[in-house]
Structure 1
Amino acid sequence: MSIHDHRCHTAQGESFNFAALRGQVLLIVNVASRCGFTPQLRELERLYRRYRQRGFMVIGFPCNQFARQSPESALDFCTLSARDYQVSFPLMEKVRVNGRHAHPLFVELKRQAPGVLGSGMVKWNFTKFLVGRDGRVIRRFSPRHGEAELRAALEVALDEV
């Protein structure tokens, strides 16, 4: 199954169709507002601004599953992210990434790119999934991977036709 086959909702509750993103490179990230990795929002925004003209999009999904580090609503997360980190990339509905009620998109992302030792779990906030133009996951990045590692993989993905 391709990532493009999934649907979700924006933070405003509007339907978001991944099929419209066919041909683009995506970085899908579970984000949080009160995490030690939250400053990565700035790095993600820099990548988005640098590469969006080449067909790249960052998509953030607020998630409160890890130490309750994102307790606010998705709309409040949007406000905070824009104000404190100048985020302009799309932010979606608040989701679960693990467990019985995990969003189907994250079930598919984890299936295509299992974690360390084949673990099917997302271990923490700011786990990143790089998705190619064909809708398949190229690589999974841990929260510790920053802008430099992402940029190298992203450049390769953007150069693929």
Structure 2
Amino acid sequence: MTTVYDFSARLNNTEQHELAHYHDKVLLIVNTASQCGFTGQYAGLEQLYRQYCARGLVVLGFPCNQFRQQEPGSDQQIATFCQTHYDISFPLFSKIEVNGAHAHPLFRYLKHQAPGLFGTTAIKWNFTKFLVNRQGHAVQRFGPPAKPDTLTQAIEQLL
């Protein structure tokens, strides 16, 4: 059976990164954007990461420009923005697509493992969050309006 550990993605420094590196960790995988109404959630994601990283949580940010071009910058510009405005220390990946023919295989997998409302597999907007258990399976999906601090109970259950 496939798990998130079977995938790889390019970090924002262009290095190919195997997600198997996170084996036995709880993952919160998020499609992000720097010019979105939900961009402020970066602060909450960083807070979750700092609060729970010692217990095994890793937040993974995947910038995406598919929703009204709210992530137009280069990978370097995105990294600089995240560092300057939110002091992001969790892994940030290269910009990807999450829907359509060019969707990253990881997100195709996540969408089918944890469908949205009414069984939809499409990601509707930036800051959709997927919670992945220590076995590498997506167990819960949270829509963009779900603030990171509202995920603590679900995260703690998996830690």
Taking structure 1 as the reference length, the TM-score comes to 0.96
1:88-99 mapped onto 2 (5 Å cutoff)? 88-99=89-100
Please state how far the C-alpha of 1:15 moved relative to its aligned partner.
1.1
Gaps in structure 2 of 5+ consecutive residues: none
* Equivalence for 1:28: 29
* Equivalence for 1:124: 125
Please state how far the C-alpha of 1:148 moved relative to its aligned partner.
3.0
Please state how far the C-alpha of 1:120 moved relative to its aligned partner.
1.1
Q: What is the CA–CA distance in structure 2 between the aligned matches of 1:147 and 1:110, rounded to whole Å?
A: 19
Per-residue displacement from partner, 1:5-44 (whole Å, max 9, x unpaired)?
A: 0011101100111111110000000000000000000000
Please state how far the C-alpha of 1:147 moved relative to its aligned partner.
2.5
Please state how far the C-alpha of 1:102 moved relative to its aligned partner.
0.2
Describe the SS at the equivalent of 2:51.
helix
Q: Does 1:145 align with 2:139?
A: no
* Equivalence for 1:81: 82
> Any runs of at least 4 consecutive aligned residues in structure 1 with deviations exceeding 2 A, and if so which?
none
Q: How many residues align?
A: 158
What is the RMSD computed on CA atoms of the aligned residues?
A: 0.6
1:1-161 mapped onto 2 (5 Å cutoff)? 1-158=2-159
Partner letter of residue 110 of structure 1?
K
Q: What is the CA–CA distance in structure 2 between the aligned matches of 1:124 and 1:20, rounded to whole Å?
A: 28
Q: What is the CA–CA distance in structure 2 between the aligned matches of 1:124 and 1:65, rounded to whole Å?
A: 8
Gaps in structure 1 of 5+ consecutive residues: none
Q: What is the CA–CA distance in structure 2 between the aligned matches of 1:116 and 1:41, rounded to whole Å?
A: 24
Q: What is the CA–CA distance in structure 1 between the aligned matches of 2:66 and 2:152, rounded to whole Å?
A: 27
Taking structure 2 as the reference length, the TM-score comes to 0.98
